[in-house]
Structure 1
Amino acid sequence: MAEKIIIDTDIGDDVDDALAIALALRSPELEVAGITTVYKNVAQREQLALTLLDVYGRRDIPVAVGFGKPIRYETDTSAIPHQCRNLRNKIERNCDSDAVSFIIESVRKDPAIILVAIGPYTNIGMAVKLAPEIMRGVRVVGMGGAFSAVYPEYNIMCDPEAVNILLKSECRIEMVGLDVTVKCVLSPDDLAGIKQCREAEHQFLGGLIDIWMDTSIGKKVTLHDPLTVAYLIDPGILTMKMEPVDVELEGTFTRGLTAVLRTPFRQRKPLPPDNVNVAVDVDFPRLRSLVLRRVFGIQ
């Protein structure tokens, strides 16, 4: 039986969000019950998500608009994400609910639903804050943090306060950090193979990859978010470990840092309880094969 998921996404910047959604749509192990947009220009992100669903013939999946601003700081909510600049035809909205209400109501109806966080955590943090009883015990599987490295990761850094709410909650949290996802880079040969794919959905994703390659600094496609979705399809792709995790809310250079509190230098007794199942290693060949096969039909 397929597991129901809601994908909370900042689709429109890195191409990995679109690839992750496509992987979920092409995987019978998962049932996408909804998509929610988060951070900055959430209305444009909604349009890109709706366009992707239209290409895949899945306009039945509701897309709910979420918070553009993080909890603590202001941010520019009007800038057009790079991958949204080629959108031409506006697609009619298919969900009247806001993202936070959609998440809360979906969990209330089905506590087994999984929240897949592949953007900043504002929507999920606010859902936990507003409805802690309903959200208690919900499974949250997210891309975020860095647990064997000392630097803030983007999804966490954008709204550490929302992450703090989640970490202090009674949700079941699993996180795939940047220190693991950076091992998952498609090769030039992989990208050349994708360019040869001719189906409409392949062409659409290929266009988004081209935009990403033109606008990104690194000029490479890293499967950050697809790895998070792939873990739900094939848990053996990741090696996981329970850890006591907290997030830094202050600091000029450390705000948004995810800290594993079990270290040989920390003398706190007792240690805080393990609260996050953290990814510590990845089987990249297994991930690559799954993504290329499911999303692009490349064997």
Structure 2
Amino acid sequence: MRQKIHLDTDIGGDIDDLCALAYCLRHPEVEWIAVTTVAEHGGRRAGYVRHVLHLAGRQDIPVAAGVEARWQGFRFEQPLPDEHDYWRGEISPFPTPLEQALDLLEASIRQGAHVVAMGAYTHLAMLEERQPGILADARITLMGGFVYPPRAGFPAWDFTADWNAQVDSASAHLVFERANPTLVPLAVTAETALRFAHLPVLERAGALGECLAHQARVFASAEQLAERYLPDCPALPSDFINFQHDPLACAAALGWSGLTFADLRLRVEMERGWVRLREDPHGRVFRVAVGVDGEAFAAHWLETVCR
């Protein structure tokens, strides 16, 4: 069954946003509604989205640039890597008013679209403040929401590594309190991987696949996550490049069968500026991804993107 999708993304740094966008562009059950970009640099992230849509022949999908990275509510800086390295040239920015992004997000929710938040949850919080109560019945999947640590053999992350929630913890707290989202946390996304073995297949998958393969090689050289994680994480594949955090969140929204979910009662609280989710028998019920078949997801993602 086709699913209306709205992506809210901080594309332009970690390449899993690009992997997620490509996955949804090639997924046969996606009915695109819009894409909004968060932590903007004068519309550069929105420009990247439009470039990817052009590669896929989908210039019809509405795009809007949202809140700027210099916004005072962000805990961390959110810079962009060198454009020439990742995109092999300059990409025209696409600046738009913040209200245009919020308008698109509101319209998507009112159409019954599934919103997948793949960056800070700032836009969702801003929309809730503009239209109180709108999040209560919205269909939302959040990449993030730390409940359990990853299993042994994977990175030993704690709640402070939950970037999407912690980069704007006040907005995350509001969204956790007001919405009824599905959470796809680090404990499961840690078990996904983009691998060097995937790149030859991607390079034969048209302009979009070739763009993914190129950025994967650049990212691997620049970030060196394999060198950082493999010595202490034997469960990761030896040709590891990056985690597929955002693609897995999109797969959750689209009902991919390789994820396991649980309804957990969680208490939402702030602790020295960090937002925390703790199990509590009196807490609210959240639908949380608690398990994934990582190898099956890698095959599913690659098959979908190379469709």
TM-score of the two chains, using structure 2 as the length reference: 0.82
Give, in whole Å, the separation in 2 of the partners of 1:142 and 1:211: 27
Give CA-to-partner distance per residue, 1:257-292, whole Å, 9 cap, x none: 532233xxxxxxx71221x21111002222111111
1:153-168 matched pairs, under 5 angstroms: 153-168=162-177
**Alignment-mate amino acid for residue 218 of structure 1:** L
Matched, 1:136 2:136: yes
Which of 150, 169, 182 is the equivalent residue of 1:174?
182
Does structure 1 retain, via aligned residues, the 8 Å contact 2:6–2:115?
A: yes
**Alignment-mate amino acid for residue 235 of structure 1:** W
Identify the residue that residue 16 of structure 1 maps to in structure 2: 16
Where 2:274 maps in the other structure, the secondary structure is: coil
Task: Name the CA shift for 1:242/1:66 in 2 (closer, same or farther; >3 Å).
Answer: same
Matched, 1:294 2:304: yes
**Alignment-mate amino acid for residue 293 of structure 1:** E
Does structure 2 retain, via aligned residues, the 8 Å contact 1:176–1:228?
A: yes
TM superposition shift of 1:10: 0.3
Identify the residue that residue 107 of structure 2 maps to in structure 1: 105
Where 2:194 maps in the other structure, the secondary structure is: coil
Does structure 2 retain, via aligned residues, the 8 Å contact 1:51–1:91?
A: no
Give, in whole Å, the separation in 2 of the partners of 1:73 and 1:119: 12
Where 1:135 maps in the other structure, the secondary structure is: coil
Identify the residue that residue 278 of structure 2 maps to in structure 1: 260
Identify the residue that residue 267 of structure 1 maps to in structure 2: none
Give CA-to-partner distance per residue, 1:227-272, whole Å, 9 cap, x none: 1111233432211112233455342xxx43532233xxxxxxx712
Does structure 2 retain, via aligned residues, the 8 Å contact 1:173–1:277?
A: yes
1:1-299 matched pairs, under 5 angstroms: 1-41=1-41, 43-69=43-69, 72-73=73-74, 76=77, 79-82=79-82, 86-90=88-92, 98-108=100-110, 110=111, 112-149=112-149, 150-152=158-160, 153-169=162-178, 171-195=179-203, 197=204, 199-219=206-226, 220-251=241-272, 255-262=273-280, 271-274=282-285, 276-297=286-307
What is the aligned-residue identity percentage?
27
Higher mean Cα deviation, 239-248 or 171-180? 239-248
Task: Name the CA shift for 1:92/1:186 in 2 (closer, same or farther; >3 Å).
Answer: closer
TM-score of the two chains, using structure 1 as the length reference: 0.84
Unaligned runs of 5+ in 2: 150-157, 227-240
Task: Name the CA shift for 1:278/1:10 in 2 (closer, same or farther; >3 Å).
Answer: same
Give, in whole Å, the separation in 1 of the partners of 2:54 and 2:88: 15
Task: Name the CA shift for 1:154/1:206 in 2 (closer, same or farther; >3 Å).
Answer: same
Task: Name the CA shift for 1:291/1:132 in 2 (closer, same or farther; >3 Å).
Answer: same
Give, in whole Å, the separation in 1 of the partners of 2:249 and 2:138: 17
**Alignment-mate amino acid for residue 283 of structure 2:** P
Give, in whole Å, the separation in 2 of the partners of 1:242 and 1:164: 19
Give CA-to-partner distance per residue, 1:102-130, whole Å, 9 cap, x none: 2113323x1x2111111111011111221
Does structure 2 retain, via aligned residues, the 8 Å contact 1:6–1:115?
A: yes
Task: Name the CA shift for 1:94/1:4 in 2 (closer, same or farther; >3 Å).
Answer: farther
Number of residue pairs matched?
Answer: 281
Task: Name the CA shift for 1:233/1:119 in 2 (closer, same or farther; >3 Å).
Answer: same
TM superposition shift of 1:59: 0.7
Does structure 2 retain, via aligned residues, the 8 Å contact 1:50–1:63?
A: yes
Does structure 2 retain, via aligned residues, the 8 Å contact 1:239–1:280?
A: yes
Unaligned runs of 5+ in 1: 263-269
Identify the residue that residue 152 of structure 2 maps to in structure 1: none
Give CA-to-partner distance per residue, 1:178-232, whole Å, 9 cap, x none: 111011113332234434x252111111122122112214142211111111123
Give, in whole Å, the separation in 2 of the partners of 1:234 and 1:105: 23
**Alignment-mate amino acid for residue 156 of structure 1:** A
**Alignment-mate amino acid for residue 181 of structure 1:** T
Where 1:287 maps in the other structure, the secondary structure is: helix
Does structure 2 retain, via aligned residues, the 8 Å contact 1:167–1:246?
A: no
